[in-house]
Amino acid sequence: MSRRKVNIAIAHTKELCPVCAAEVEGPLVRNKFPTEAGKKKIEEIDGKIIGWRKVPCDTCMELMDRAYILVGVIDAKTTDPKHPYRSGNTWGVKKEAAALIVNEQQMLRGYAFIDLNIAEKLNLPDIQWNA
């Protein structure tokens, strides 16, 4: 009696928080078609970062309950507008103040990216330029 080889794999993946860029648990991924090649692809992403989360991590969500988050970016180093070059700066500001500098859609999201040149003009504290 021959045994049939099982070509199914499941990967525990990671994603990045869109606000703080921390690694968080991502979805479990499995191969849709039980082939050796499909199994190998899934095994290769096990434990790896597969992209950005659609929503912030729990820590950022808690912070967003208390303040609006501005994430510092450097527009001059950004190559993909969907994923701006992060400077490592973040600020929590009153939601009323944020409403004066970001659009309505960004207000609903709870965070926005802000170029360091604009952050400097707004006198945001402790700007780190050497990202």
Q: What is the largest CA-CA distance in the chain?
A: 76
24-48 confidence digits (pLDDT tens): 999 999 988 888 999 999 999 999 9
Question: Is the full-model pTM beyond 0.75?
Answer: yes
Domain ranges in the chain?
A: 10-52, 67-121
* 10-16, strands of its sheet edge to edge: 23-30, 10-16, 49-52
- Give CA–CA dist 29/43, Å, rounded: 10
Secondary-structure percent of the chain, ordered helix, strand, coil, rounded to 5: 30, 30, 40
6-18 confidence digits (pLDDT tens): 788 999 999 999 9
